[in-house]
């Protein structure tokens, strides 16, 4: 092959995702003149912010070759506990910090079972999914908590420099996650464990501690998403976040992170969340009935994985 | 009339000639042993027979009819069955299901299956419950089931590759009994082994391969262990010389014990390379994982080594035997792999210190002359020899006192091998203590100051340098005891 020739396989592997997003945006802006307006773009970003925040945590777990099915329930539990503490009289700032700490603790609980008891992440977090949901319903007796203090509302609907707070929180969390994954020893260890756990262990990496961390981080992400959701709804619902784990996993895998671990990153996840968000938004604008929207969404996930499978450079 | 006649079989892998025109014959009802040092071509010859690989040229005649196998299935259809060292059973299925795996008719009654399995097991005098799960059985029993399965496929030729490697003494006895029965039924058996005492016990004839050539075939009754060792070794040419060492400074003492390893201790001096020799199953292959805290129990200087982290912290590092599954994260780059064991010291204020990491990687790429010298290339794109250099760089970056090398040149081509030998030699010059576990006798002779020979889970001899090739081979294969 001559050096001047473009390696299309390589190009697709690196930029295919962004190209797909651009193509999608182009098509939708042709189909609807309301699509590519500033207000609708902000709208899409705000709509994906909660999913993207959860998906950041999920990306870390999946790169470490795990999976976290408990995030939706964890979001509900930390949401109602944070709201409950604030309504009960704790200063709002402390209530929010307490909710974030609780999320981290619950994630650690998952992580300890995975890393130290050696139970499959799928099973541990499936158990977490029902335990946390049950706890959220028990804590609130099944009723939403209302009358949240102003700070909560700020997180959900405040604006800064013209953009809604959820978008800033999403971007900040993406950046923090990216820095951890790419510029710290901890992040490097996550990739190593996901890529080859045995080699990581023989290299002296504290495999169990790092695995527990990934789940703790996912718990933190879900708790942060809970705060944003509380603010947007102006209440805390014990039934919030049902199926959110699947949306997050979809964003991660559409974003090119391998479910087999060791490969991927949060910018891919952001693009994945955008692709899903843009499709949802576009179909709403085009008045596609919601039943069909679900079918299309599933189809997109399958197509993304199929394309990844085809263009992925296989190793020998 | 010979059951099988292979003539002028040739096979090359790239530049490397594995078989340079080998003849091999097998009679019905004969046990024909195939011996030779590592890399002599035994496995390649048998893979060709079993249809795993096609030969480059040469012919095979089976029961007077020329044959050519394009696949393992085709070879099996002709009654050629290979029993591999690595067992090929499904642990979650029952003994009976495993016996007839792939040969089951679409509808099988449970009772009928169990009955047929029991018949097969009886043929090899295995008193096992056909309904029990294979995963619950010992490795020896599994090996015997594999042989029963081979016979269930109505084999005419049975190839056994190091069949006793995982067997206890009593299980080996059972195996020899089975071999006698199978042989009496007219099956031809090819018996690959490094253990000459077994060869002399079970085989009728023995063929010796060396460097891809047949150097002789003898009737066992008319030869001696000494002669076989001579044939295996040939004119001993030493390809690598070890410089004499100066002063001795003791680094410490290893103690180790494990399930298949009797308690032993090894003193190690600075700059010393101690060789560990022994066939598979001798306990030799268990030493280094034990010393690295992966199994059994071990200590260094009196304090226990409980985990790889423990060992690395105390200056002991391992280059594991399988670099792809144990040594490297294949998707990561050269630099990321080199840094794996030194992550704590490559960070500053919690962040990776990019400059120091680059400098460390560049240093090792140069020092080990890694090719291509690109720190950001994913390691799965490198050749075997260069991958091994990455593993060595990773371990050396921790500035260890002791380096444990487990089969360091497995799957590495000849040129890269010589380079690795220079690296290993250079490390000892700098005062590292090295333990080198290898199944390649020439490698041990060329690199080591002394060699510990293992058999039956313990050290049976310690050979001092300078070594005599024949003597080392005689000790490793057990020919020494037969003489």
Q: How many residues does chain A have?
A: 316
Output the pLDDT for position A315.
41
Q: Kindly list the domain boundaries of chain B, sorted by start residue.
A: 4-233, 250-482
B250-482 has the same fold as B4-233: yes
Q: Which range, of A148-157, B114-123, B197-206, averages the lowest pLDDT?
A: B114-123
Q: pLDDT tens digits for B321-349?
A: 999 999 999 999 999 999 999 999 999 88
The residue in chain A having the minimum alpha-carbon distance to the alpha carbon of residue B379 is A315
For residues B142-159, average pLDDT: 80
Which region, left, alpha or beta, applies to residue B452 given φ > 0 means left and ψ of -120 to 50 means alpha? beta
Instruction: Give B229's pLDDT tier (boundaries 50, 70, 90).
Output: confident
Q: pLDDT tens digits for B77-88?
A: 898 988 876 567
Q: Which range, of A130-144, A166-180, B152-166, averages the lowest pLDDT?
A: B152-166
Both tokens of B361, joined, read 């990687």
Distance from CA of A266 to the nearest CA of B (A): 17
The residue in chain B having the minimum alpha-carbon distance to the alpha carbon of residue A192 is B329
Residue B296 pLDDT exceeds 60 = yes
Beta bridge partners of B261: B258
Bridge-based pairing of strands B80-83 and A159-160 is unpaired
Residue A198 pLDDT exceeds 60 = yes
Q: Return the sign of the alpha-carbon dihedral for residues B285, B288, B289, B295.
A: positive
Q: Contact A164/A230 with Cβ under 8 angstroms? A: no
Using alpha carbons, select from A271, A279, A228, A223 the residue that is nearest to residue A251: A271
pTM reported for the whole predicted model: 0.85
Chain centroid to CA A57: 6
Output the pLDDT for position B167.
78
Look-up of token digits 């990306």: A59
**Average per-residue pLDDT for chain B:** 88
Chain A residues touching residue B327 (CB < 8 angstroms) = 199, 202
Q: Which CATH class is domain B250-482?
A: alpha beta
| Mean pLDDT comparison of A301-315, B49-63, B131-145, highest-scoring range | B49-63
Residues ≥6 apart with Cβ < 8 Å to B349:
none
For residues B40-47, average pLDDT: 89
Q: Contact A75/A237 with Cβ under 8 angstroms? A: no
Q: pLDDT tens digits for A156-186?
A: 988 899 899 999 999 999 999 999 999 999 9
Residues ≥6 apart with Cβ < 8 Å to B148:
B99, B120, B121, B123, B124, B126
Nearest to A185 among B325, B346, B394 (CB): B346
Chain B residues touching residue A262 (CB < 8 angstroms) = 329, 331-332
What values do phi and psi take at B275, rounded to 5? -90, 145
Q: Which range, of A139-153, B213-227, B238-252, B281-295, averages the lowest pLDDT?
A: B238-252
Residue A5 pLDDT exceeds 70 = no
Look-up of token digits 């029991």: B118
Q: B425: exposed, middle or buried (C-beta count within 10 Å: 0-12, 13-18, 19+)?
A: middle
CB interface of A with B, residues 178-217, below 8 Å: 179, 183-185, 188-189, 191-192, 195-196, 198-206
CB contact under 8 A, A185 and B309: no
Nearest to A262 among B329, B339, B350 (CB): B329
Both tokens of B373, joined, read 């010298």
Output the pLDDT for position B145.
83
Mutate one of A182, A184, A189, A202 to test the B interface: name it (highest B CB count within 10 A). Answer: A202
Work out how many CB contacts closer than 8 A connect A with B: 77
Output the pLDDT for position B194.
84
For residues B412-418, average pLDDT: 78
Instruction: Give A1's pLDDT tier (boundaries 50, 70, 90).
Output: very low
- CATH number (3.40.190.10, 3.40.50.10490, 3.40.50.300, 3.40.50.720) of B4-233 reads 3.40.50.300
DSSP B341: G
Q: How far apart are the first and last CA of chain A?
A: 20
Distance from CA of A263 to the nearest CA of B (A): 8
Distance from CA of B72 to the nearest CA of A (A): 22
- In angstroms, the Cα distances linking B65 to B2, B4, B81 are 11, 9, 18
Both tokens of A84, joined, read 């409950």
Both tokens of B28, joined, read 């019905």
Both tokens of A49, joined, read 């912010």
Which region, left, alpha or beta, applies to residue A262 given φ > 0 means left and ψ of -120 to 50 means alpha? left
Residue A311 pLDDT exceeds 70 = no
CB contact under 8 A, A191 and B350: no
């Amino acid at each position: 092959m001559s050096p001047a020739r473009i390696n299309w396989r390589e190009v697709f592997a690196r930029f295919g995702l962004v190209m797909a997003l651009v193509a999608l945006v182009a098509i939708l802006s042709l189909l609807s003149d309301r699509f590519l307006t500033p207000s609708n773009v902000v709208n899409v970003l705000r709509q994906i912010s909660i999913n993207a925040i959860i998906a950041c945590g999920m990306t870390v777990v999946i790169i470490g070759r795990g999976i976290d099915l408990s995030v939706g329930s964890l979001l509900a539990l930390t949401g109602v506990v944070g709201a409950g503490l604030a309504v009960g009289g704790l200063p709002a700032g402390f209530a929010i910090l307490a909710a974030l700490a609780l999320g981290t603790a619950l994630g650690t609980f998952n992580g300890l079972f995975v890393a130290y008891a050696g139970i499959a992440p799928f099973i541990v977090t499936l158990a977490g999914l029902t335990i946390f949901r049950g706890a959220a319903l028990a804590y609130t007796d099944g009723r939403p908590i209302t009358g949240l203090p102003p700070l909560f509302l700020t997180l959900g609907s405040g604006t800064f420099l013209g953009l809604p707070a959820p978008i800033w929180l999403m971007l900040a969390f993406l950046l923090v996650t990216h820095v951890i994954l790419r510029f710290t020893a901890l992040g490097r260890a996550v990739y190593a464990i996901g890529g080859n756990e045995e080699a990581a262990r023989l290299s002296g990496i504290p495999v169990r501690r790092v695995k527990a961390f990934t789940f703790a981080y996912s718990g933190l992400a879900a708790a942060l998403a809970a705060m944003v959701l509380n603010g947007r709804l102006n209440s805390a619902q014990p039934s919030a976040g049902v199926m959110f784990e699947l949306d997050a996993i979809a964003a991660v895998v559409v974003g090119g992170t391998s479910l087999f671990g060791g490969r991927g990153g949060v910018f891919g996840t952001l693009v994945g969340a955008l692709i899903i968000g843009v499709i949802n938004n576009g179909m709403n604008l085009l008045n596609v009935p919601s039943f069909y929207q679900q079918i299309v969404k599933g189809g997109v996930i399958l197509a993304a994985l199929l394309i990844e499978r085809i263009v992925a450079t296989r190793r020998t | 009339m010979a059951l099988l006649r292979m003539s002028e079989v040739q096979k090359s892998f790239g530049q490397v000639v594995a078989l340079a025109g080998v003849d091999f014959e097998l009679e019905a009802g004969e046990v024909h042993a195939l011996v030779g040092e590592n890399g002599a071509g035994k496995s390649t010859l048998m893979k060709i027979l079993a249809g795993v690989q096609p030969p480059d040229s040469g012919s095979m005649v089976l029961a007077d009819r020329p044959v050519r196998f394009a696949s393992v299935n085709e070879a099996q259809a002709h009654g050629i069955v290979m029993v591999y060292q690595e067992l090929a059973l499904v642990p979650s299925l029952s003994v009976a299901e495993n016996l007839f795996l792939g040969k089951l008719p679409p509808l099988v009654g449970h009772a009928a299956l169990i009955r047929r399995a029991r018949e097969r097991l009886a043929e090899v005098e295995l008193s096992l419950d056909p309904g029990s799960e294979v995963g619950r059985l010992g490795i020896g029993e599994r090996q015997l089931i594999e042989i029963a399965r081979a016979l269930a496929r109505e084999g005419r030729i049975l190839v056994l590759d190091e069949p006793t490697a995982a067997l206890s003494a009593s299980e080996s006895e059972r195996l020899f009994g089975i071999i006698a029965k199978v042989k009496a039924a007219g099956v031809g058996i090819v018996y690959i082994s490094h253990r000459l005492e077994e060869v002399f016990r079970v085989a009728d004839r023995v063929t010796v391969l060396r460097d891809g050539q047949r150097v002789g075939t003898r009737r066992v009754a008319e030869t001696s262990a000494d002669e076989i060792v001579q044939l295996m070794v040939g004119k001993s040419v030493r390809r690598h010389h070890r410089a004499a060492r100066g002063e001795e400074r003791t680094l410490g003492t290893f103690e180790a014990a494990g399930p298949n390893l009797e308690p032993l201790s090894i003193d190690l001096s600075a700059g010393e390379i101690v060789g560990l020799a022994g066939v598979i199953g001798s306990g030799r292959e268990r030493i280094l994982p034990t010393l690295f805290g992966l199994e059994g129990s071990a200590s260094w200087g009196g304090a226990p080594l409980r985990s790889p982290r423990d060992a690395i912290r105390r200056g002991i590092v391992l280059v594991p035997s399988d670099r792809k599954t144990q040594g490297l994260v294949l998707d990561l780059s050269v630099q990321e792999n080199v840094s794996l064991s030194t992550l704590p010291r490559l960070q500053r204020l919690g962040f990776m210190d990019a400059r120091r990491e680059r400098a460390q990687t560049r240093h090792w790429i140069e020092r080990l002359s890694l090719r291509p010298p690109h720190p950001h290339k994913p390691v799965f794109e490198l050749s075997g020899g260069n991958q091994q250099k990455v593993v060595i760089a990773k371990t050396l970056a921790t500035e260890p006192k002791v380096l444990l090398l487990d089969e360091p040149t497995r799957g590495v081509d000849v040129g890269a091998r010589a380079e690795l030998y220079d690296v290993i030699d250079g490390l000892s010059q700098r005062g590292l203590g090295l333990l080198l576990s290898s199944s390649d006798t020439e490698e041990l002779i060329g690199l080591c100051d002394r060699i510990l020979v293992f058999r039956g889970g313990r050290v049976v001899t310690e050979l001092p340098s300078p070594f005599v090739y024949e003597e080392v081979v005689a000790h490793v294969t057990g020919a020494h005891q037969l003489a």
